[in-house]
Structure 1
Amino acid sequence: MTTENSQQVSSRIFTVPNILSFVRLALVPVFLVLVILGEDVLALIVLVVSSVTDFLDGVLARRLDQVSRLGQLLDPAADRLFIFATLIGLAVRGIVPWWLVTIIVGRDVLLLVLGIVLANHGYGPLPVHHLGKIATFCLFYALPILMIGQAFPVAAPVSDPVGWAFALWGAFLYWWAGVIYIVETLRVIRIPRVVEPAESDTLGG
């Protein structure tokens, strides 16, 4: 199996990019505690460090030819965990409403259910839709922008409207992509499965 760049996807665990991804994951609880405690400047510094490691692990994975299956799972997982951590931390402080947390977390619960349905029908996960990527991008930057207004109140008149625009648009696109995944899942599971010759012989015998 190869990537679009014809790089081999390995099953290695301890690679430089994966270690950077593990560092990002370890920073998630640190970040959440800082947000809840209102240490917004320190939280932003942790977020910047995470963003730098996110950039580096992608670059190093390609340049060192260390693209791995584990890395392909860890990278988006770290992104989502940082989104969830920011949402929960800001919701605890009353900066963002809990309904926004419910909307975003609910969409990912939906994807988990769809994944289980697909697996029960013998299919792997659906490919990521471009709307899902755009939505994740919007949310990944919306919440830190809102945090800037908390850390530096002088920037709030600009950062708050921009952050909320990204957040609401991201939440809308998140569920738009979710509806597309529902439709695609229903389409896939209705496709008749082709019985392999060996399987057919077994069933016939």
Structure 2
Amino acid sequence: MINLLTIPNLISIMRIILIPIYLYLFVQGNYYLAAGLFSLSAASDFVDGYIARKLNMHSKLGKLLDPLADKLTIISILLLLIKLNLIPRVVSFIILGRELFIFLSGIITYFFGLNFIDPTLLGKTSIFLLYLAIAVRLTGINIFGDWLFYLVIPINIISAVEYFIKAYREVFA
């Protein structure tokens, strides 16, 4: 019997559970605690992948849970920042568009029984900088947060194109 409750899967589940908690804290004005929990969630994104690779704890559930937790985290916090008008609209729509594109293409890939497209170094860099920009923004450091968001945009766009090319090759090659 395959153990579905591996450490990486539990970490991904924890990341999903944290989403409404830090969103609520942020809306209630508890910015530092919200930023802390969001940062914990972001850091654990890298930890679960590391554990899965190092301890060979890959699972089909994990290949679904990890990107689901990633996209739900990014999309939910971006929607909140957009609603509260805390990040420039152009930034939010570019980043949100990329995240929705990758999320929907991952779902389509999964349902067609194809392998998920592994993230590239550029994609991981983009997500790391995005997590950092959001955490900085949640704490109210606006100038540095804006700078990070504008740094993320070109990396985000290039990584989306890179992802599209990899997905195209996976499906049509």
TM-score range, shorter chain: 0.7 to 0.9
Determine the structure 2 residue equivalent to 1:196: none
Structure of greater Rg: 1
State the alpha-carbon separation in 2 of the partners of residues 56 and 186 from structure 1. Answer: 29
* CA pair 136-58 structure 1, distance change in 2 beyond 3 A: closer
Determine the structure 2 residue equivalent to 1:7: none
Determine the structure 2 residue equivalent to 1:172: 154
Matched, 1:33 2:15: no
Q: Which runs of 5+ in 2 are unaligned?
A: none
Letter in 1 for 2:159: A
RMSD: 3.3
Q: Deviations over 1:90-135 (max 9, x none)?
A: 2222211333332122113333565548977x85443322221111
- Name the stretch that deviates more: 175-184 or 140-149: 175-184
* CA pair 78-189 structure 1, distance change in 2 beyond 3 A: closer
Aligned-residue offset at 1:141: 0.9
If asked which structure has higher relative contact order (CA below 8 Å, sep 6+), I would say: 2
Q: Deviations over 1:23-51 (max 9, x none)?
A: 22111011122223332122123224435
Q: Is the 8 A contact 1:135 1:169 kept in 2?
A: no
Q: Deviations over 1:5-26 (max 9, x none)?
A: xxxxx95312333223212211
Q: Which runs of 5+ in 1 are unaligned?
A: 1-9, 150-155, 192-205
* CA pair 14-97 structure 1, distance change in 2 beyond 3 A: same
Q: Deviations over 1:62-82 (max 9, x none)?
A: 676544332343234323322
Q: Which residue of 84, 87, 99 maps to 2:90?
A: 99
State the alpha-carbon separation in 2 of the partners of residues 107 and 17 from structure 1. Answer: 25
Number of corresponding residues: 172
* CA pair 100-36 structure 1, distance change in 2 beyond 3 A: farther
Q: TM-score, normalised by structure 1?
A: 0.65
* CA pair 141-11 structure 1, distance change in 2 beyond 3 A: farther
Q: Which residue of 139, 160, 182 maps to 2:130?
A: 139
Q: Is the 8 A contact 1:31 1:85 kept in 2?
A: no
Aligned-residue offset at 1:144: 0.3
Q: Is the 8 A contact 1:36 1:92 kept in 2?
A: no
Q: Is the 8 A contact 2:26 2:34 kept in 1?
A: yes
State the alpha-carbon separation in 1 of the partners of residues 111 and 45 from structure 2. Answer: 30
State the alpha-carbon separation in 2 of the partners of residues 175 and 107 from structure 1. Answer: 7
Q: Is the 8 A contact 1:79 1:140 kept in 2?
A: no
SS of the residue aligned with 1:41? helix
Letter in 2 for 1:84: I
Aligned-residue offset at 1:173: 1.2
